[in-house]
């Protein structure tokens, strides 16, 4: 990885793209520390320093915003609305024929879907911003903080609308910055901003583990966490790179006096075909009951049961539900993102076939069989990785800000591998080192 970046800085064009990307990252990180109008920044810092400040229902969104959510800054919502909008559009593409037709139109259809994603991102930012402001005004954002209700001193309608508009504009700006990195930087802009947001929380979380540790001044706990993190990174890299390659043969076709085809290739089916999406789905779905219980009045039986079983990360019911949801969403997302019938039809259309398998329906059934077989270990792997922070809570007494959580490691490793691949491909286009070796 370091070699790829060193070679990239020696290439003038790539060096400009890398420096441009670094400039955008600096702007993004500066924005995560600018508070929005109407917020008492001193009270916010007091609540953040409180031991229970970061153990609310907004841990996932706070992680994706690089800690900006709990500080209620202009980039408080981060790229979470864009991620949610992208997932919703991707799911609707399977359900709505119009969106499916746009997806098949190529570049023009993709541009239209991207435009819809932007509109939906702004709408979700308004909803999430309103919810965040309402939560901050009631003091529910920082449970257990003595000045939680004084974070927003002026609770007038004008101040509330200003806060929501500011956070919505901040989300739109983050989306624009990500697209700038994609167009003029090294590419993969939204993923890079997500990478930076998560990596920015690592130093403070690691140092908190060191300062709160009891063995040898906290250095033993610190070293243990680093060792666990390295093992997890190695495991994630191994599984993310693992794939089942299904061989495909293309028959020769004569058009005039020229022959086409006669080549062999393969269909790469990754073990973790769904990526990080099932973990995000499961986390978001588990937040809904706890959020409803938090804002509902009274002490009904269902509210008490949810607060006892579905809000504590170390509770057996919470762990089991979280794991089952991840496995379910892994199969669900793979089913809607990979269509064996469509792949089999395209292969048959261009004269391709899998050796030993008849073209058409038998090929689709074979692809579906293989996909189900490799999705099982992939979904179980996702569930186990996502439960590492919970195991840390139970086994080491760590807090819920355990830095090497499954979600953060999956995103950081995935984005890092993808970024290095893009840099390597651009280097190969310029000096052909990849083809000469």
CA distance 21 to 185: 5
436 pLDDT band (50/70/90 cuts)? very low
User: 255 has which bridge partners?
Assistant: 258
Q: Which CATH superfamily is domain 1-185 in?
A: SecY subunit domain (1.10.3370.10)
56 pLDDT band (50/70/90 cuts)? very low
Higher model confidence: residue 423 or residue 394? 423
- Identical fold between 1-185 and 238-410: yes
CA distance 394 to 116: 43
Backbone angles phi, psi at 66, to 5 degrees: 70, 30
For 123-175, write each residue's pLDDT tens digit: 999 988 888 888 888 777 777 777 777 888 888 889 889 999 999 999 999 99
CA distance 189 to 62: 19
**411 CB burial (10 A radius; 0-12, 13-18, 19+):** buried
For 366-385, write each residue's pLDDT tens digit: 999 999 999 999 999 888 88
Q: How open is the CA angle 244-247-250, to the nearest 5 degrees? A: 150
Decide which of 1.10.3720.10, 1.10.3370.10, 3.40.50.700, 1.10.220.10 is the CATH code for 238-410. Answer: 1.10.3370.10
Backbone angles phi, psi at 71, to 5 degrees: -90, -5
In the structure, how many helices (H) and strands (E) does the chain have?
Answer: 19, 5
Report the pLDDT value the prediction gives residue 15, as an integer from 0 to 100. Answer: 85
Range 6-19 average pLDDT: 81
Specify the pairing of strand 264-270 against strand 243-250. antiparallel
Weakest-pLDDT range from 21-35, 156-170, 257-271, 322-336 = 257-271
Range 95-115 average pLDDT: 84
Q: Which residue has the tokens 């504009």?
A: 169
For 301-314, write each residue's pLDDT tens digit: 777 777 777 766 66
Backbone angles phi, psi at 248, to 5 degrees: -130, 130
Report the pLDDT value the prediction gives residue 54, as an integer from 0 to 100. Answer: 42
CA distance 146 to 143: 9
432 pLDDT band (50/70/90 cuts)? low
For 327-360, write each residue's pLDDT tens digit: 998 998 888 888 888 888 888 887 788 888 888 8
For 203-249, write each residue's pLDDT tens digit: 877 777 777 766 666 788 778 778 877 888 888 888 888 888 888 88
Assess contact for 289 and 308: CB atoms under 8 A: no
Higher model confidence: residue 57 or residue 290? 290
CA distance 239 to 436: 29
Domain borders along the chain are 1-185, 238-410
CA distance 129 to 121: 12
Specify the pairing of strand 352-353 against strand 243-250. antiparallel
Residue 381: C-alpha distances to residues 315, 321, 323, 387, 432 (Å) = 21, 16, 10, 10, 37
Residue 89 pLDDT greater than 90, yes or no: no
Helix, strand, coil share (%) of the chain residues, nearest 5: 70, 5, 25
Coil vs helix vs strand at 32: coil
């Amino acid at each position: 990885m370091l070699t790829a970046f060193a070679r990239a800085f020696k290439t003038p064009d790539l060096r400009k793209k890398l420096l441009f990307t670094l400039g955008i990252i600096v702007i993004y990180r500066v924005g995560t520390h600018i508070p929005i109008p109407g917020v008492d920044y001193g009270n916010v810092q007091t609540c953040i320093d409180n031991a229970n400040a970061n153990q609310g229902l907004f841990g996932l969104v706070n992680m994706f915003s690089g800690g900006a959510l709990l500080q209620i800054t202009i980039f408080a919502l981060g790229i979470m609305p864009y991620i949610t909008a992208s997932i919703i559009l991707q799911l609707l593409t399977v359900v709505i024929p119009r969106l499916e037709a746009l997806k098949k139109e190529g570049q023009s259809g993709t541009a239209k879907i991207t435009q819809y994603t932007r509109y939906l991102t702004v709408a979700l930012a308004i909803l999430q911003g309103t919810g965040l402001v309402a939560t901050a005004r009631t003091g529910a954002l920082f449970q257990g903080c003595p000045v939680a209700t004084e974070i927003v001193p002026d609770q007038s309608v004008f101040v509330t609308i200003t806060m929501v508009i500011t956070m919505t504009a901040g989300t739109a700006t983050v989306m624009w910055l990500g697209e700038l990195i994609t167009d003029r930087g090294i590419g993969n802009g939204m993923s890079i901003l997500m990478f930076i947001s998560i990596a920015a929380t690592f130093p403070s979380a690691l140092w908190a583990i060191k300062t709160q540790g009891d063995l040898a001044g906290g250095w033993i706990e610190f070293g243990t966490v680093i060792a666990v993190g390295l093992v997890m990174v190695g495991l994630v890299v191994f599984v993310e790179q693992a794939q089942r390659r299904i061989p495909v043969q293309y028959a020769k076709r004569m058009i005039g006096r020229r022959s086409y085809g006669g080549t062999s290739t393969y269909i790469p089916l990754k073990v973790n075909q769904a990526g990080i999406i099932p973990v995000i789905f499961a986390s978001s779905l588990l937040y809904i009951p706890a959020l409803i219980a938090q804002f509902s009045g009274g002490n009904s039986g269902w509210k008490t049961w949810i607060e006892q079983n579905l809000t504590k990360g170390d509770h057996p019911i919470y762990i089991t539900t979280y794991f089952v949801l991840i496995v379910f969403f892994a199969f669900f997302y793979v089913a809607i993102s990979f269509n064996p019938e469509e792949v089999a039809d395209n292969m048959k259309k261009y004269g391709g076939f899998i050796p030993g398998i008849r073209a058409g329906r038998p090929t689709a059934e074979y692809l579906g069989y293989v996909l189900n077989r490799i999705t099982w270990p992939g979904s179980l792997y996702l569930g186990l990785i996502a439960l590492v922070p919970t195991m840390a809570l139970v086994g080491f007494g760590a807090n819920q800000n355990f830095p090497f959580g499954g979600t953060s490691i999956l995103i950081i490793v995935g984005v890092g591998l993808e970024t290095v691949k893009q840099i390597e491909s651009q280097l190969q286009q310029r000096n052909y080192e990849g083809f000469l070796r």
